[in-house]
Amino acid sequence: MKIGFIGLGIMGKPMVRNLLKGGYTVVVHNRSSAAVTELTGDGAIAGGSSSATAAQSDIILTMLPDGPDVEAAVLGPDGILEGAKSGAILVDMSSISPLVSQKISDACREKGVGFIDAPVSGGEPKAIDGTLTFMAGGDQATFDKVLPILQKMGSSVTLTGPVGAGNVTKLANQIMVACNIAAMGEALVLATRAGLQPEVVFNAVKGGLAGSTVLNAKAPMVIARNFKPGFRIELHEKDLRNALLAGESMKVSLPLTSLVQQMLISLMNEGKGALDHSAIVTFIERMAGIEVK
């Protein structure tokens, strides 16, 4: 089985490497040729374009920033559906609007191509070690065909419902993560202002009910002032924007999501959009006039 992989960013590159380690033949394409050159050195095959990559592949995987990027790669000129053969399967691992996933699924169906939306959670560290969490949407038969491939890149792969369900689940995940980071920031800023050592506070609470994967991953980064991106603020803002749009379409109020999204927009306006989303804490620090360190 030959796999096509389009989108070789922070997440895409290590995901391709795990597929190569798993014994798969992988054809790769990216807007930037540097990433393609890097991965061909690891054993991947250069695809040349989205269409050409799809033409050489049984399963096509996309890992792109947002819905318009996915639409362009799949539906646009020289896109995936121009090259994909009938019976191929497209798995979009991007975090996008569920409405866009359903639109792409309809276009794939007309071409005889299967479709799964399977956004991921875990950031760059879990992409590197192959322990990402996949939240998939689609039919059971198509999911079963791609499951072994996803398991080479993730430790948890769950079919959550029909097409679009994967991205609804991912939006729910992103709401929880963003609000968790913001709450952690407020707590550590308060503790620091009170004269406590934030690392001591972190160690004191992490074993209790406040403990979480988010806390364990992000508090040490904040305390060390390490905002090297595993997941960028600008991408998390995009996810919260999609969550708010989905909420509006379903008449669901998301007040905390809206508040944190406004924090992210403010940080982007400060030029911090490329920082790790743990830098949400800097918004709270600026209001308090103190740094957690």
Residues annotated as part of the active site: 170
CA-derived radius of gyration, the chain: 20
Distance CA 109, CA 5 (A): 20
Distance CA 17, CA 38 (A): 11
Task: Tell me the residue length of the chain.
Answer: 293
Distance CA 105, CA 99 (A): 10
Q: Which parts of the chain fold into alpha helices (H)?
A: 12-21, 33-40, 50-55, 67-75, 80-83, 98-110, 123-129, 140-151, 165-193, 198-205, 213-223, 233-249, 255-269, 280-288
Q: Is 49 helix (H, G, I), strand (E, B) or coil?
A: coil
Distance CA 276, CA 40 (A): 28
Q: Is 91 helix (H, G, I), strand (E, B) or coil?
A: strand
Question: DSSP string of 199-216?
Answer: HHHHHHHTTSTT--HHHH
Task: Work out whether strand 120-121 and strand 132-137 pair parallel, antiparallel, or are unpaired.
Answer: antiparallel
